[in-house]
Chain A
Amino acid sequence: DAGVTQSPTHLIKTRGQQVTLRCSPISGHKSVSWYQQVLGQGPQFIFQYYEKEERGRGNFPDRFSARQFPNYSSELNVNALLLGDSALYLCASSPAGTVTDTQYFGPGTRLTVL
């Protein structure tokens, strides 16, 4: 089976622009979470979605938003990009999104804001 896939692999934007990142979970997984990993740091939790509803949100500004589609894929949107948004954005999926579920991560999207 294919793992979690993310697109695009790399992205370069300028300050003030908007970006959309995409994620397809492992087949059969209904929960998707998004993490931001700044260089030299561990991933930080942004959102979790389950069955198209937001289940949890981390400490990120309202410029960050996400949604989940009926096929369980997900998009992360970031508006009014800042230089500090440059990071690796990771998507993780899990079967049912419960607290004991293991999250499986995709390869990430590298976002560079100039």
Chain B
Amino acid sequence: AQSVAQPEDQVNVAEGNPLTVKCTYSVSGNPYLFWYVQYPNRGLQFLLKYITGDNLVKGSYGFEAEFNKSQTSFHLKKPSALVSDSALYFCAVRDRKNSGGYQKVTFGIGTKLQVIP
């Protein structure tokens, strides 16, 4: 079975400071990992994904994430937070070994990011 943990319900950061949103995963094989952002009353917007290769993945809006296999983590980061980054962030995983050839993705419960002006 595949699972994702987002240990923080909410992260508060001052505008201009670096931000980190944490994510750890559990899969039986190798993971595909994703980050999505959700603004109020909106669907999910894709930020970035890790499939293979370089452990540091760069995505939309200045976000990046680092895949760490030994710590089974995929933390989302941004060097300088903006007030407009305030939203709900979801980490998601797909197990490469047990995917069954389809796209079932398991999401975490989400982390609310609040950027304080």
Contacts and interface: CB of A to CB of B under 8 A. Distances in A.
Interface of A: 4, 31, 33, 40-45, 48, 50, 55-56, 58, 90, 92, 94, 97-108
Contacts of B34: 102
Nearest to A99: B99
B22 interface: no
- Main DSSP-derived SS at the A contact region: loop
A102 B49 contact: yes
B32 A48 contact: no
Interface residues of B, number: 27
29 contacts: A31-B103, A40-B109, A41-B110, A42-B4, A42-B107, A42-B109, A43-B90, A45-B104, A45-B105, A45-B106, A50-B102, A55-B103, A56-B103, A56-B104, A58-B104, A90-B44, A97-B102, A98-B103, A99-B94, A99-B96, A99-B99, A99-B101, A99-B102, A100-B51, A101-B103, A102-B49, A103-B105, A105-B43, A107-B42
B80 interface: no
A92 B109 CA distance: 18
B15 to A, nearest CB: 26
Contact of B103 (A4, A90, A94): A94
A45 B96 CA distance: 16
Given A42-B109, A99-B94, A102-B49, A108 B43 contact: yes
Given A42-B90, A42-B109, A90-B44, A105 B104 contact: no
B102 A56 contact: yes
Nearest to B110: A42
Contacts of A4: 43
A45 to B, nearest CB: 5
